[in-house]
Each structure stands twice: as C-alpha cells, then as structure tokens.
Amino acid sequence: MFALKNLRLSFPRSSFQAVKFGPRLSRRNAFPLAFQMPSSRSIWIRSEETPNENAIKFLPGLDILPPTIGTLEYMRTQEYNNSPLAEKLFEIPGVKSIFFGRDFITVSKDESQSWTQLKPEVFSTIMEHLSNGESVLAGDPLNGPSDTQILESDSQTVAMIKELLETSIRPSIQEDGGDVEFRGFDEETGMVSLKLRGACRSCSSSAVTLKSGIQQMLNHYIPEVREVNQVLDPEEEVAISEFEKFEKRIHQNEQKEDK
C-alpha cells in the first residue's frame, strides 16, 4: 500500500548491480545541453520493490532527468520516440510502462510476465545505455511540471492544495516509484481530481492511497477538501471494466458450484 505515514514511506528491500562510468560524471554536469550522459566511473544500480508487485524502481545513483523536468511517464500504447532509453526498454516483451523520476526509473510489467526473467533484461538495458554515455532524452529539454505551479488566478484553497502536494505528498509518493498529478479542484463539491502515475498507476492499493492517505492529509490541513477523485485514462477505464466483468464471472461460477 502507498501509505503516507508521517509523510514518509518505508524503504523496501534492495538489490545492487554495478556499472562503469567516467571520472567526469557528477550530479552537476550530468546533463549538458544535449542530454549526453558522460562515460565511465563505477556506480551502483540499485533496485527497490514497490507496493505494486508489477513495478520495480531502479536507482542508477545519478540524476536521470535535469532540474527543469519533474517526472516523465511513457506507456507502450503512446509515443515514446523522444526517449532513446524508453525505446530500448519497450523492446523487452512484457514491459508495460516506464516512469522517469529525477534519479530513478520505475518499470512496470504486464501481470502475465515474471520478474525472474524480465528484471535481468531491464538491468542489462539500463546499464548498457548509461555506460555507453547515451542520452535518456532526445532533443531540447522539456518544460518542468506545471500542475502544482501556483498561478495568480488560483484561489487560496487551490494554492494551498498545490503547495501541500508539491512539498509533502509528491515526495512521499515518489519514494515508492510513483507520482501524483493535480488535475483540478471543484470549489462547490470540495473534490480534488488527481492522476496517479508510475508505480501508483496500476497498483491494487491505489484507492487506499487516495482515500486513506492523500484525502485524509489534504482534509486535515485544508478543510475545504471533502473528497479526492482519481482521474483515469481511457485504457485504464477499459482495464477496470474488464476486471470487474472477470470478477463477476468468477462470482457467478462460484455460486453455480455451490448449488
């Protein structure tokens, strides 16, 4: 579960693998203008389990994205040609989505695939790409996240929601390989609309994350917030609908067997 206990999340078990990088690599110069990753000094690539059993967080020990970018998410069903690393990872059968944080990469898989076979391939792909000094992103740097940027037109309530999301909730969610994106606030109903991303997107406990974690925290500090609603992409709505149908069929079969 993505619990927000005291604004901190527990650290899962980790595994390590090494890769060589050059002596000039540091967090300061990790992103020259062309997003070129310098070559070769020894670092550790660490993997962490997430509350989502279908997602693993990989930490290469250096900044993946420049400061101008918050997070980026790529789905197999969408365009991802502006990220050479994402293209390579999607060549691995079973990789469903890729989420880049500042210093981590969360890879999500299809439920039918096993991490036993998939994880070594993901490790190898990330290692080879970074050790060759290849860029994570192609082209010019993108603009940073704007969902929590406080605007002059924002009400005091919206400004407070954005501030709490950016300073407290988002960092905690990112520790578990995910992110949360502000999509709006209805002043009349008190409903906050949020989009879960990364490891949070397909996690079975995402509803608990919203209600028991984010909603309670927002309501505690901002009484105007009465409810938090999860915004779903069309493909997510279809997946949920199909899952509900599947559960219904199982329940009907169980009832027939009991008769």
Half-sphere exposure of 18 (CA within 13 A, CB side): 5
The single-letter code of the amino acid at 257 is E
Q: Give the helix/strand (H/E) hosting 105.
A: strand 105-109
pLDDT for the residue numbered 259 = 62
What letter does residue 222 receive in the DSSP assignment?
-
pLDDT for the residue numbered 118 = 94
Spatial contact of 122 and 108, defined as CB atoms under 8 Å apart: no
Spatial contact of 228 and 221, defined as CB atoms under 8 Å apart: no
What letter does residue 148 receive in the DSSP assignment?
T
CATH of domain 14-131: 3.30.1370.70
Half-sphere exposure of 98 (CA within 13 A, CB side): 28
pLDDT for the residue numbered 30 = 36
Q: What does each of the 259 residues of the chain score in pLDDT, given as a tens digit?
A: 444 444 433 333 344 343 333 333 333 333 333 334 445 545 578 999 988 899 999 999 888 888 778 788 888 877 777 889 999 999 999 999 999 988 999 999 998 899 999 999 999 999 989 888 888 888 665 555 567 788 888 899 999 999 999 888 888 888 878 788 898 999 999 999 998 877 677 665 666 667 778 888 999 999 999 999 888 775 555 555 555 565 566 766 766 666 6
- Displacement of CA 176 from its chain's centroid (Å): 8
pLDDT for the residue numbered 14 = 42
Within 8 A by CB and 6+ apart from 193, the residues are 182, 183, 184, 185, 186, 228, 229, 231
- Provide the H-helix boundaries in 26-176: 84-90, 115-131, 156-164, 170-175
Task: Give the other-Cβ count within 10 Å of 174's Cβ.
Answer: 25
Q: Whole-angstrom distance between the N-terminal and C-terminal Cα of the chain? A: 37
Spatial contact of 30 and 137, defined as CB atoms under 8 Å apart: no
Spatial contact of 148 and 50, defined as CB atoms under 8 Å apart: no
Q: How far apart are CA 214 and CA 134, in angstroms?
A: 37
pTM: 0.64
